[in-house]
Amino acid sequence: MIPLPPFHDDLDASLNELWRLLEAGAASARTAFHTPSLATIDGQGRPQVRTVVLRSADRGSGTLRFHCDRRSHKADDIARSGFAALHAYDAQDKVQIRVSGSATLHADDAVADAAWAVSMAMSRVCYGTAPAPGTVIATGGAYTLPDEGATGGGRANFCAVVVAVETLEFLYLDRRGHRRAGWARSGEGWSGDWLVP
């Protein structure tokens, strides 16, 4: 039988594993944590959820970053509410991670400039779509994208979103005993508890 992982009954190790998985997800497309679901609350108070690419996870500052079009519904939701939650389940690792916190849009500052500077041409063109994302159009193809060569085109619509994590939750599935733990930000660190799975 496969041995239980070292974090199975170790709360601090579970928190380390959670951040390790998020950081690995931001670095590589090979895990489910690369493409978490992002939840926001819309203008009618209803939950909305969709996939985003996790661009960075930084356990030192307790922040996550993803990118979106500033004209998108998700950007509107975040501007209005100031909050976001992310979730992913990796079936290989048998780990679900849930994160929530305050979210800030960065469109015209150094955070956005730095994120844009390292984004690839094929990503950049998405921000030049016309009309704006979510607009009703007459046929499926009735929108345009700039040429990949015209890489500056989408900058005006590009937005980096930084989530300052306030709560974290980790669920590890194993039939010898599931383990669930939650943490809340406490000063510079995290205050955690085991939870009934």
Ligand X SMILES: Cc1cc2nc3c(=O)[nH]c(=O)nc-3n(C[C@H](O)[C@H](O)[C@H](O)COP(=O)(O)O)c2cc1C
Q: Rounded CA gap, 66 and 78, in Å?
A: 12
- The CB-of-154 to ligand X minimum distance in angstroms stands at 12
What are the residues whose beta carbons fall under 8 Å from the beta carbon of 59, sequence distance 6 or more? 19, 22, 23
Q: Rule CB under 6 A: which of 137-196 touch ligand X?
A: none
Pair type for strands 158-172 and 63-69 = antiparallel
- CA 66, 90, 182: angle at the middle one, nearest 5? 75
The H or E element containing residue 111 is helix 110-117
Out of 73, 87, 180, 185, the only residue in the binding site for ligand X (CB under 6 A) is: 73
- Of residues 42 through 71, those in contact with ligand X by CB under 6 A are 48, 50-53, 66-69
* 74 near ligand X, rule: CB under 6 A: yes
Of the pair 131, 189, the CB lying nearest ligand X is at 131
Smallest gap from Cβ 74 to ligand X, in A, equals 4
Contact (CB, 8 A) for 119 and 97: no
d(CA 9, CA 11): 6
CA distance 100 to 78: 12
> How many residues in the shown chain lie near ligand X by CB under 6 A?
15
Contact residue for ligand X among 20, 32, 35, 155 (CB under 6 A): 35
Nearer to ligand X, 66 or 170 (CB): 66
Residue 22 CB, nearest approach to ligand X (Å): 15
- Minimum CB–partner distance for residue 86 and ligand X (Å): 11
Which CB sits closer to ligand X, 74 or 124? Answer: 74
Dist CA 53 CA 81 (whole Å): 21
Site for ligand X in 115-144 (CB under 6 A): 133-134
Cβ distance to ligand X smaller for residue 16 or 72: 72
Contacts of 2 (CB under 8 A, 6+ apart): none
Interacting residues with ligand X (CB under 6 A): 35, 48, 50-53, 66-69, 72-74, 133-134
